[in-house]
Amino acid sequence: MTTKSISLTVNGKTVEQEVEPRTHLADFLRHGIGLTGTHLGCEHGVCGACTVLVDGQAVRSCLMLAVQADGAEVVTVEGLAPETGGDDGLSPIQAAFREFHGLQCGYCTPGFLTSLTQLLMENPDIGEEDLRKELSGNLCRCTGYAGIVRAALAAAQAYKEAAASGMGGSR
């Protein structure tokens, strides 16, 4: 099969690689460059497990081809914690997930973390009702969502402070 050369930024590093046009972004991230933190739950765009940030927007990487990401800036779960890091090298939402038991098997977790990172950076004042509607695009079979919702509401403050201090880049 023919391949196409793509160049993109993944977690701040430039990546150049030949890919088959039919390879979706999730397979490229997982198998092309070994970032296995992004998980595939359904491969038809429902469960949200494969969500990554493409140019700051939460995107289902199973519904996007790798060639479409040519020139884009991609952030995966491996890139969520800022290099300066909080305690333990976790971003606020990652730390809150641990504190509030927002994960069990951890398979859907990367998708929740990336979705919430965009959501909380854009709307840190979100209330529980709206938060739950926003989260309905990510499925978790283990937790029953209570810990995830608690974690998101608790972490929102940190994103609000980051926004206020102009550190919009802090994830």
The token pair that represents 156 in the structure block: 């929102």
Q: How far is CA 45 from CA 13, 26, 40, 129, in A?
A: 27, 12, 10, 23
Measured from the CB atom, the residue of 36 and 71 that comes closer to another protein is 36
Measured from the CB atom, the residue of 6 and 90 that comes closer to another protein is 90
Site for another protein in 39-98 (CB under 8 A): 39-44, 46-47, 49, 76-78, 80-81, 88-90, 94, 97-98
d(CA 66, CA 107): 22
Site for another protein in 95-124 (CB under 8 A): 97-99, 101, 103-110, 113
Minimum gap (Å) between residue 57 Cβ and another protein: 19
- The site that binds another protein (CB under 8 A) totals a number of residues, namely 59
Question: Which helix (DSSP H) or strand (DSSP E) does residue 53 occupy?
Answer: strand 51-54
Minimum gap (Å) between residue 166 Cβ and another protein: 26
Minimum gap (Å) between residue 35 Cβ and another protein: 7
Q: Which long-range contacts (CB under 8 A, 24 or more apart) does 149-153 make?
A: 150/96, 150/100, 150/102, 151/93, 151/96, 151/97, 151/99, 151/100, 151/102, 152/93, 152/96, 152/102, 152/116, 152/119, 152/120, 153/128
Measured from the CB atom, the residue of 73 and 78 that comes closer to another protein is 78
Binding site for another protein (CB under 8 A): 20, 22-23, 30, 34-44, 46-47, 49, 76-78, 80-81, 88-90, 94, 97-99, 101, 103-110, 113, 131-133, 135-150
